[in-house]
Chain A
C-alpha cells in the first residue's frame, strides 16, 4: 500500500490506482511445436525474485495503459531501470 508507481503517461501516482499484471515474461510464444509444459510454464510459473524484478502494471484508475516498472520486492519500492535489469 505504500507503493507508488510511475506511469509513463500520468507520472508518479498512488499504487492504489494500478492493477498488477505479473512478472515480465516476454511475448507470447509461437504456437507451433509448443508443448503443454512449456505453455503452462509461460502462463503460470513465476520467478518470484527476492530483489529487483521487471513487472507489468495497469493504470486502471487513470489512463488505462499497460507498462513495466522495476520494483524491489524486498522493500516494495519502485527502482530505476534499466541498470537494475540484470
Chain B
C-alpha cells in the first residue's frame, strides 16, 4: 500500500480510520471517506475492468463516474460506479467483464480483432444466411454486456422517496450554486440545493490557488459550504445526483444515504417555483491513440486524487491539456512531489502569464501548441508520444501517469432535459442556452466564465433572479446584481481541439461502447449524417455512462469531419435518468397497505384466515377446509354471521339528490318508498354494467346507498362526473369506513334477531326488502335491511364502526343457544352462486352489459329525460344477437366443477366460466358461465377447456337459474 498524504487541509478522508474490504477474495484496507475506486488505487490497483467489446484494460479516468471504466460488482450488485460509491466495512468487490482477471483477461486478444468488428457489425455480419443468427447470438450474448446478476439475487437495503416542495431548487453545490442558494435564502425563500458529490464545494474544493486576499480557493469553498449548511432556509441534499428536469420547475434526483440515514438510496422529486442550474463543467475528453489506457486520467481526477484522497496518482507525470486548470494542477502536483516531464498545451497562446511563470520557475517544460498523440504501454501507460498540433514534430516522454484533457465542457444535461434549445458558441466552445424557460436560470461555469469572483457573482445574480421570480424582491435588485456581474470578467475563450492528429483506430470517443474515431468515420461514411443517428449506429454514448464521455465530443467531431457549411452543431438528446441508478430505488419500498374492518380482531380471534381482497384484508375462510362445507351448511340449516363492512356505503342528500340517482341508476328511483330497499345497477356510457347495490330512502331528499366493495372508491367521482354539467344541488358522502355491516343469515336468523330487540320483526312486520331504523340496547342506532344475497332469511345491520364490536358480541351471545357460527367471503360466494345472485366483476367483465347478465328487468325505459348513463347504449345493444349471455350450468355425470375462468370451447372459444363450485346444498357441481347467445338455451351441452388440460375436456349442460330455492320461499318467508 502506498503512503498517503494525511495532513492536507483539502482531504475528504480520515486516514486514522481503517476500512477493511474484500477484493477478489483478498483482504484490503482503505480509510474512512474513501470511495471504492480511491481505496483500490491506494492499494495499487490500476486496471479496474475490461471494456465491453475489445476487452481493453480500463482504469481511473474522471473520478465522477461518467464512464463504465470503474464499474464493478459490489456485494453482488453489478455495475456499481466505484468512483461515486463510498467504501464501507466488509464490502466485497469484484471485477466485471473479464474472463480470468482484469489484469490477465483471456479475451484481451479481441482488441487485435477490431478490424473485424466495424461500426454496426452486428447488423452487417450476422443476418445472412438467417440461420447464423441463433448461433452467433449465443456467442455474442456470452461476451457482450457489462456485469452479471443472478436471477435469484435480492437487492438488500432500504429505499425511500420524498416529494419536497420549495421556492428555489439549486442544481449543483459548487461556488455558483452555493452563492445562488445563499442569495435566495437571504430573501426569505426556502431553498433546496442538490449536489452529486458527498460534499459541497464544487471545483473550489480541491484547489490551492488564491481566491482573494491570501485566501485559497478551497478555504473559500469550505467557508461557503459552512454558510450554506448553517442557513435555516436551505435544505442541503448531498450525494444527490440530479437525474431529471422537467417543465414547470420539477427536478428529480437520487440521494445516497449515509450511515445516519434510514435509507440506502432514495428518490427525490422536487417541485419548485424556480430552478437554478449551476452544474458547472466537466472536462472534455482528449482523443488520441489509447486515450483510455490505465494511467491516462483527466486533470480533475489527478488533482482530486491527491488533494481529496491523499494519493499521488503517479510519480512521473506528463500533461496534455487545453485549459489553465491543467497548468494549475501541474504546478500543484509538482509541489506535492510528482516529477513532471512536460506540460503540453493545445493552445498556442492565451495562458495565464502567472501560471506560465510558475511552471518556468519549477523548470517544467511547457510545450504550447502541442498535444499527446499516443499512449504506450500494454496494460498501463509507460510512455507518451507528443506532437505539435499540426503533426509535424513528435517527441516521446516516459511517464506512469498521463494527465489529459482537451478543455472544459458545460454539464448541459439539466438544460436539454428541460427541453431548452442549445447553440454552439464559437468563442467559448460551449453549448449555451440563449433562451431559458420561465423561472429557470443558470449560473457559474456553465456560462463559460472562469474567474472565481465572476462565478460567485453569477450565482448571486441567479439567486436574486429566482427571488424576483418568486416575488421576493424587485427589479432594481436584479439590475444591481446584473451591473455587479458586468464589472467582472466575462466568458473566456475555450479550446476548440477535440482530436489529436491521428488516424483514430484506437482513439476512443466513447469508452462504454468501445467506439473509436474510426467507427464514427465509418458510420458517417455509411450515410448516417446527423449526430443522433451516428450515436445510435456507432453506439457512442449508449452505454451506462449516459453519454458522460462522448456527450459533446461526438457532435463536435461529427461537425468537424463533415465540414458542412451552415449546419449548426447540436448536442444529442439526453434523457432521464441522466446518471445510472438502481432500479430498486425507482421501485421504492414495497408497502403492503390494506384496510381492516372494525371487527378485524374479533374475526382473527375466531380463527379467520385472512386474504387480501382489493384494498381490504378480509376473512375468506374460517377453517383450513377451503371448500367451506361447515360454514355453508350452517347458513343453509341454522344461522351464520358475516362481517360485510367492506361494502361501499354512501349518504346522498340535497334538493337534487333524486335527479342524481335517476342519472346514475338504471331503475326509476322516483318509485322508492320509505321503509323499502331498492336493488338496482349502474352502467357506463356503453351500457356495460359496472356496479350494483341497494338504495334506501331515509327521508325527504335523503338517501342511503350501498355499492360493491371494489367500487366504493370511485362512486363519488362517478356520480359527480356524470352530473358535472348540470349544476345540481346535492351532497354525497362516502361513509364506507365509518360504518360497519353485519350480515345475519340462515333459517334461524329471525330467532336470533328477536332476542336483541323488542320490536316486531315477524315476516309481516319486517318483510323481504324491508328497511328499518332501529335502536339496540337503547344506544346502538342501526339501519337494518332484510335482504337475501345468500338465498336464506337474512338481515343486514349497518352501524357506526365504533358500535360494531358491541353489536357483533350481542348477536353472538343471542345466537349461542342456536349454535351461531361465523362464515367468510368464500362461503358467501358459494351460497350466492347457488342462488345465482351475481357479483359484478365475477359474472361480468368489461364488455358485459346489463342485459347480458339478465338484469334487464332493472332498467326503466321511460325516463329519457333523466339521461340515464348507459340507457342509449342499452337500447342500441338490445337486439344484438352477437352478445354473450349469462347461463347457469351443471356438470355431466356428477363431474367436478371446472375452475373459475376456464373456457367454453368447440373449435374456438365460445365463452368462459364465471364461478363454479361443487355444491353441498345441491349435491352436484354447478356454476354460471358467460357464453355466446346460441349456447344459452337450456339443455345445450358445454365443452369446457381448463388450463393445461391437454386434450381432456369436461362437459356441462345449461340449466335454468337459480339452482337453489328457485321460487325464493326460503329468502322471503
Contacts and interface: CB of A to CB of B under 8 A. Distances in A.
Contact of A64 (B685, B720, B725): B720
Contacts of B271: 4, 14
Question: What is the interface residue range for chain A against chain B?
Answer: 20 to 34
A19 B864 CA distance: 29
A82 interface: no
B864 A32 contact: yes
Given A2-B247, A39-B876, A75-B247, A26 B717 contact: no
B422 to A, nearest CB: 18
B248 A43 contact: no
A60 B250 contact: no
B40 to A, nearest CB: 39
B480 interface: no
Contact of B721 (A21, A27, A75): A21
Interface in B872-929: 872-873, 876
B872 A31 contact: yes
Nearest to B865: A31
Contacts of B720: 58, 64-66
A49 B605 CA distance: 58
16 contacts: A2-B247, A27-B725, A28-B867, A30-B867, A31-B871, A31-B872, A39-B873, A58-B717, A58-B720, A58-B721, A64-B716, A64-B717, A66-B720, A75-B247, A76-B247, A76-B248
Contacts, number: 52
Interface string A52-82: 0000101010001110000000011100000
Given A28-B725, A39-B873, A43-B873, 19 more contacts: A1-B250, A2-B247, A2-B250, A3-B248, A27-B725, A27-B726, A31-B871, A31-B872, A32-B864, A34-B872, A39-B872, A43-B685, A43-B686, A56-B721, A56-B724, A58-B717, A64-B716, A75-B247, A77-B247
A21, A28, A34, A43 pick with most chain B CB within 10 angstroms: A28
A14 B721 CA distance: 21
Given A1-B250, A39-B872, A39-B873, A14 B163 contact: yes
Q: Chain B interface mostly helix, strand, loop or mixed? A: mixed
A36 interface: yes
The 7 A-B residue pairs with the shortest CB-CB distance, nearest first, are A2-B246, A27-B725, A2-B250, A2-B248, A66-B724, A31-B864, A43-B685
B22 to A, nearest CB: 41
A3 B271 CA distance: 10
Nearest to A22: B721
Interface residues of B, number: 21
Contacts of B867: 28, 30-31
Contacts of A26: 725
A8 to B, nearest CB: 13
Contacts of A76: 247-248
Contacts of B726: 27
A39 B246 CA distance: 38
B162 to A, nearest CB: 13
A66 B864 contact: no
Interface string B455-497: 0000000000000000000000000000000000000000000
Contacts of A28: 725, 867
Interface in B520-536: none
Interface in B229-262: 246-248, 250
